[in-house]
Every structure is written in C-alpha cells, then in structure tokens.
Amino acid sequence: MGKGIYPIGVAAELLQVHPRTLRIYEEENLIKPERRNGRRYYSEEDMEYIRCIRKLIHEDGINLTGVRRLMEIAPCWKVRNCRCRQCGRYRKGPGKGRGRQR
C-alpha cells in the first residue's frame, strides 16, 4: 500500500465526493486509509481504488453491499477495468481462497 498523503478533505475534493462518503466506504470495509494522529490520509492507490468503487456504484448500479462482496471474491480490475492491478488490494491467501487484503 502506498503512503497516505491526502487528508480526507483534500481527497474528497479531488474525488468530488463529500468526506462522509469516504467515511461510509471505510465503515463498509471497502477502504482502509492510513491513520496518523487520529486523522485519515489517502494514498494515490486509495484514490484510484475509490474511483473504481465509484464507477461500480454510479455506472454499473451496484450497491455498497454488492461492491463489497464483489471485491471479496475478485480483484477490481477483473470486476471493472480499472488501473489498480498493483495496489495490493487483492491477494491469494493460503487455504482461504482469495479476498481483499486489509
């Protein structure tokens, strides 16, 4: 995972979402931003992953529960053609099948 560089307000502005949206994604275990001194910081990888999530929701019409379930069984670049191939959000675990890395 990359180093978190964007505080939540800046990340939300760049993604054109409300900061609450990013908190909801975190509550739904879709993202896990870096924490420093109790503040959230988002990396470039996080930002790209959130863009992919937004496309699934808004372009493909999938709700948050559906997105979470899809991401648990397949990498985002298989579900939606995104650029997250190297982001480490998907891994093969020994004896546990595949799932999103936390």
Residue 12 DSSP symbol: H
pLDDT in tens, 15-58: 999 999 999 999 988 899 999 999 999 999 889 889 989 988 99
Rounded to two decimals, the pTM is 0.73
Q: What angle do CA 52, 55, 58 make, to 5 degrees?
A: 150
Task: Report the SS3 class of residue 9.
Answer: helix
pLDDT of residue 20: 98
Residue 91: the pLDDT is: 40
Q: H-helix or E-strand containing 7?
A: strand 6-7
pLDDT of 4 higher than 60: yes
pLDDT tens, residue by residue, 54-90 = 988 999 999 999 988 888 887 666 665 555 555 555 4
Query: Which domains, and CATH codes, for the chain?
Result: 6-100 (1.10.1660.10)
